[in-house]
A and B are shown apart, each in its own frame.
Chain A
Amino acid sequence: GENVEQHPSTLSVQEGDSAVIKCTYSDSASNYFPWYKQELGKRPQLIIDIRSNVGEKKDQRIAVTLNKTAKHFSLHITETQPEDSAVYFCAASRGQYGNKLVFGAGTILRVKS
Chain B
Amino acid sequence: NAGVTQTPKFQVLKTGQSMTLQCAQDMNHNSMYWYRQDPGMGLRLIYYSASEGTTDKGEVPNGYNVSRLNKREFSLRLESAAPSQTSVYFCASSDGGTVTYEQYFGPGTRLTVT
- A and B assemble together: yes
A interface, CB within 8 angstroms of B: 1, 6, 9, 32, 34, 42-46, 49, 89, 93, 95-106
- Provide the bound-state CA to CA distance between A99 and B50, in Å: 8
Q: Are A98 and B49 in contact (CB under 8 A)?
A: yes
Interface residue total, chain B, C-beta cutoff 8 A: 29
Q: Which residues of B contact A95 (CB under 8 A)?
A: 97, 101
Whether B42 contacts A32 by the Cβ 8 Å rule is: no
The 4 nearest A-B residue pairs measured at CB: A98-B50, A103-B42, A43-B105, A103-B43
Interface residue ranges, B against A (CB under 8 Å): 30-31, 33, 40-45, 48-51, 54, 56, 58-59, 90, 94, 96-98, 101-103, 105-108
User: Are B103 and A99 touching (Cβ within 8 A)?
Assistant: yes
A46 touches B31 (CB 8 A): no
Contact B105 A99 (CB under 8 A): no
Q: How many A-B residue pairs have CB under 8 A?
A: 67
Docked-complex contact B49 and A45, CB < 8 angstroms: no
Asked whether A43 lies within 8 Å of B107 as measured between CB atoms, the reply is: yes
State whether A43 and B106 are in contact (beta carbons under 8 Å apart), knowing that A98-B56, A100-B48, A100-B58 are contacts in the complex: yes
Give CA–CA (A100, B106) in the complex, Å.
17
CB A1 to nearest CB in B, in angstroms, measures 8
Closest to A89 in B: B42
Contact: B42 with A98, CB < 8 Å?
Answer: no
Contact for B105 among A1, A6, A44, A93, CB less than 8 A: A44
